[in-house]
Structure 1
Amino acid sequence: MLKTTISKVSQYVDQEVTIGVWLANKRSSGKIQFLQLRDGTGFIQGVLVKKEVSEEAWEAAKHLTQESSLYVKGLVRKDDRAPSGFELTVTDIDIIQYAIDYPITPKEHGTEFLMDHRHLWLRSSRQHAILRIRNEIIRATYEFFNHHDFIKIDPPILTGSSAEGSTDLFHTEYFDRDAYLSQSGQLYMEAAAMAFGKVFSFGPTFRAEKSKTRRHLIEFWMIEPEMAFTDHEESLVIQENYVSFLIQSVLKNCPTDLKTIDRDISKLEKIKAPFPRITYDDAIKLLKDKGFDDIEWGEDFGAPHETAIAESFDLPVFVTNYPTAIKAFYMKPQPGREEVVLCADLLAPEGYGEIIGGSQRIDDLELLKKRYEEHNLTDPAYKWYLELRQYGSVPHSGFGLGLERTVAWVCGIEHIRETSPFPRLLNRIYP
């Protein structure tokens, strides 16, 4: 028995193979049954011709229900009309289990129903394709940073403090003291950069924001590189090269998945570094020219503002040099202009908003102490962070890319909830 997977059938054209599958759907045309099969690696059509199989196999196939599991044996045929380019001429089937009353049928279902059945919704071709693209972005992330000599370091998920002094934290008890779920690994990655030079982390982060927008999740994954001896301009180059690499990797390795979700790849094909840049000052002027009279210098941008800015460019755009007052305490002021910092947000096209936030970090001990006082960061849990500036401080920069927002943009998805296998939303922690 030659056992394989749907993703590898191209290696066995005109050969008989056996594949473990689930039935996604089926239709019948008299003496032919068409089985839409999936195995986790892909989808393929199995064609069952009555006169070419045993009576037992024919009857078993007739009684197959959606999501029933089986082993299917068949001859691999090349078929350019098929989405995968191949088809299976079925010669025999071996039923593992008949599924009964599978709740997600080919008819339309409401979002809440589908989210309640997320554990099953993942099996659909669209959700399958989205999460395969997510996987490719993760794979390409490791390839990019490994190729550029970064070391992966894992920051803790339980922390004694907030990375940005935020109150939007999930609190827990750590034996006899307070602890929080991490909202960023950045501070720890700065410590790692002082040991290894160039590092990155990839892990879950948590924000207790009571937000219901299509861009927000309560639990999400971040890629957070930190680089010693690296200034803001050098960091921007790394950021745009990284994002370009992700897009090109998805285009190269996920063409079938992009086709499954009907993504307009012409919009992705143009995503190549370098990316345009606009200062916060000029962004304010741009917004006022576009009719946003309510925005004033010193205010942060909301989703409509970010969308309006991005619409003025064909590529992702860096908005640089935000006001010091609205950014985190650790960001380095621009020399000669203390009211703004050396930072940038990367806004994705098509209204997907910020996918990267980054900055050059303060490397001066006295200035960081001053920032501590201004932000009332008296907690001794921050003591170790100050010490990074006390023992061999160097210029350093870093950034964080939100995985789910990036997946949403690459896939052209309206709501971020489809980018996570099991999304955590304001009113959802099931399944």
Structure 2
Amino acid sequence: MNKTTISQVHKYVGEDVKIGAWIANKRSSGKIAFLQLRDGTGFIQGVVVKAEVSEEVFQQAKGITQESSVYVTGTVQKDERSPFGYELQVKGIDVIHQSVDYPITPKEHGTEFLMDNRHLWLRSKRQHAVMKVRNEIIRATYEFFNEQGFTKVDPPILTGSAPEGTTELFATKYFDEDAYLSQSGQLYMEAAAMALGKVFSFGPTFRAEKSKTRRHLIEFWMIEPEMAFVEFEENLEVQEQYVSHIVQSVLKNCSLELKTLGRDTEKLEKIQAPFPRISYDDAIKFLHEKGFTDISWGDDFGAPHETAIAESYDKPVFITHYPTTLKPFYMQPHPNREDVVLCADLIAPEGYGEIIGGSERIHDYEMLKQRLTDHGLALEAYEWYLQLREFGSVPHSGFGLGLERTVAWISGVEHVRETIPFPRLLNRLYP
């Protein structure tokens, strides 16, 4: 008997297999019971025909409860009616643990109830699909940067200063010093780029921002590449190549999951580099033409503004050259304008907002020192960062992609709380 997983049953068509699984759902008629089985790798229907099994097995099938764990034996058969393409003709059931009163039944449940039971909600077919898409984006991220010659570097989570220079920090005591949970690994990645050329990090970041929108989490994961000898335009090219790669990888390797989520894949098939670009100046003019009289030059864009801009394109769009006053201290000024910097935000289609922020970094020591002073930041806390401009400084650029927003966009999920296994929200720290 071949012991296998649901994802591998295609190797055993016509053969008997044994699978460890949970009962996701079931239904039965007088002579047939249908078991919806899941094992973490996928979902498959097990068919129990009364005339083909013992009375004991058939009664087990009819009486088994949702989320009970079992070993199931049976014959793998092709089934064109199944989205998965296969089903299992069950011959035997060995109950490992009988589940009693599983709280998430097949009926509709409220969001707060599901969030309270997130540890169980993850088992559902929809949440399983979202996590598989997330995993594929992560896999494709490593694939892309490894193929492009980047080195993975892990920045610290506990830091002594703020990369973004804001007050939206989680403070803690580091013995007798003040410390903060990292907002971004960028500053450390700049140091790594001066040692290794092209680097990227992938890790958790934290923002003490009291926001309740569908785009915000308190704890989220970021992919942050940093590249020495790379200037603004080349940085944008890397971004669009990377985003194109992960989207096409999900289309190729997660077709069943996208179907489960009801995602319109035709929209994703259009996501190929290059991406359109619009300057901040032109974006302001565009918004005024669209009737957004509430925004002026120098204001930051909100969700409605980003959505209006994105709706004019069927690909992600770069908004470039934001005002200096809107952006952090480390961004390189435009060579011909002091009022804007060499930066870009990448806005996803379909109302998902900014998924990447990036820029060329200031590489001149005196300019960076002045910017730190202008932002009221203590020079001693950034002494090591300034030293990167003292010893062999070079033009360099980088960006950060927010994983959860990207998962939401690619999978078509409305709220980012479904795109991370255990979301941390403004008023949620459980489970």
- Normalised to the residue count of structure 2, the TM-score between the two structures is 0.99
Matches within 5 A, 1:315-330: 315-330=315-330
C-alpha separation in 2, matches of 1:313 and 1:58? 56
Question: Could you tell me which amino acid in structure 2 is paired with residue 332 of structure 1?
Answer: Q
Identify the residue that residue 310 of structure 1 maps to in structure 2: 310
Q: Is the 8 A contact 2:373 2:379 kept in 1?
A: no
1:377, CA displacement in angstroms?
Answer: 1.1
C-alpha separation in 2, matches of 1:234 and 1:28? 60
User: Is the counterpart of residue 4 in structure 1 residue 4 in structure 2?
Assistant: yes
Q: Is the 8 A contact 2:356 2:399 kept in 1?
A: yes
Q: Is the 8 A contact 2:189 2:225 kept in 1?
A: yes
Identify the residue that residue 298 of structure 1 maps to in structure 2: 298
Question: Could you tell me which amino acid in structure 2 is paired with residue 63 of structure 1?
Answer: G
Residues 76-96 of structure 1: per-residue CA shift (max 9 Å, x gap): 000111111000000111000
C-alpha separation in 2, matches of 1:294 and 1:115? 36
C-alpha separation in 2, matches of 1:158 and 1:165? 15
Question: Could you tell me which amino acid in structure 1 is paired with residue 303 of structure 2?
Answer: A
Matches within 5 A, 1:270-289: 270-289=270-289
Structure 2 counterpart SS, 1:223: strand
Identify the residue that residue 150 of structure 1 maps to in structure 2: 150
Residues 260-291 of structure 1: per-residue CA shift (max 9 Å, x gap): 01001011011100000000000000000000
Matches within 5 A, 1:234-273: 234-273=234-273
Q: Is the 8 A contact 2:369 2:379 kept in 1?
A: no
User: Is the counterpart of residue 335 in structure 1 residue 335 in structure 2?
Assistant: yes
- Which segments of structure 1 move beyond 6 Å, counting only runs of 4 or more? none
- Normalised to the residue count of structure 1, the TM-score between the two structures is 0.99
Structure 2 counterpart SS, 1:44: strand
1:54, CA displacement in angstroms?
Answer: 1.6
User: Is the counterpart of residue 101 in structure 1 residue 105 in structure 2?
Assistant: no
User: Is the counterpart of residue 49 in structure 1 residue 49 in structure 2?
Assistant: yes
1:51, CA displacement in angstroms?
Answer: 1.6
Matches within 5 A, 1:185-204: 185-204=185-204
Identify the residue that residue 75 of structure 1 maps to in structure 2: 75
Question: Could you tell me which amino acid in structure 2 is paired with residue 322 of structure 1?
Answer: Y
RMSD: 0.6
Question: Could you tell me which amino acid in structure 1 is paired with residue 269 of structure 2?
Answer: E
User: Is the counterpart of residue 413 in structure 1 residue 416 in structure 2?
Assistant: no
Identify the residue that residue 220 of structure 1 maps to in structure 2: 220
Structure 2 counterpart SS, 1:24: strand
Residues 112-137 of structure 1: per-residue CA shift (max 9 Å, x gap): 00000000000000000001000000
Matches within 5 A, 1:130-145: 130-145=130-145
Structure 1 counterpart SS, 2:3: coil
C-alpha separation in 2, matches of 1:398 and 1:206? 19
1:380, CA displacement in angstroms?
Answer: 1.9
C-alpha separation in 1, matches of 2:214 and 2:322? 24
Residues 25-81 of structure 1: per-residue CA shift (max 9 Å, x gap): 111111111101000000000000112112221122222000000000000000111
Identify the residue that residue 167 of structure 1 maps to in structure 2: 167
C-alpha separation in 1, matches of 2:74 and 2:380? 67
Structure 1 counterpart SS, 2:346: strand
Identify the residue that residue 422 of structure 2 maps to in structure 1: 422
Residues 313-343 of structure 1: per-residue CA shift (max 9 Å, x gap): 1110000000001101000000021110000
Identify the residue that residue 361 of structure 1 maps to in structure 2: 361
Structure 2 counterpart SS, 1:7: helix
C-alpha separation in 1, matches of 2:59 and 2:97? 15
C-alpha separation in 2, matches of 1:169 and 1:102? 39
The answer to which of 145-154 and 25-34 deviates more is 25-34
Q: Is the 8 A contact 2:372 2:379 kept in 1?
A: no
Structure 2 counterpart SS, 1:14: coil
C-alpha separation in 2, matches of 1:47 and 1:309? 50
Percent of residue pairs bearing the same amino acid type? 74
C-alpha separation in 2, matches of 1:419 and 1:86? 28
C-alpha separation in 2, matches of 1:396 and 1:321? 17
Structure 1 counterpart SS, 2:81: coil
C-alpha separation in 2, matches of 1:389 and 1:377? 17
Identify the residue that residue 350 of structure 2 maps to in structure 1: 350
Q: Is the 8 A contact 2:318 2:346 kept in 1?
A: yes
C-alpha separation in 1, matches of 2:314 and 2:138? 25
Structure 1 counterpart SS, 2:2: coil
Question: Could you tell me which amino acid in structure 1 is paired with residue 374 of structure 2?
Answer: E
1:379, CA displacement in angstroms?
Answer: 4.8
Give the count of matched residue pairs.
431
Structure 2 counterpart SS, 1:426: coil
C-alpha separation in 1, matches of 2:381 and 2:43? 51
C-alpha separation in 2, matches of 1:313 and 1:38? 39
Identify the residue that residue 117 of structure 2 maps to in structure 1: 117
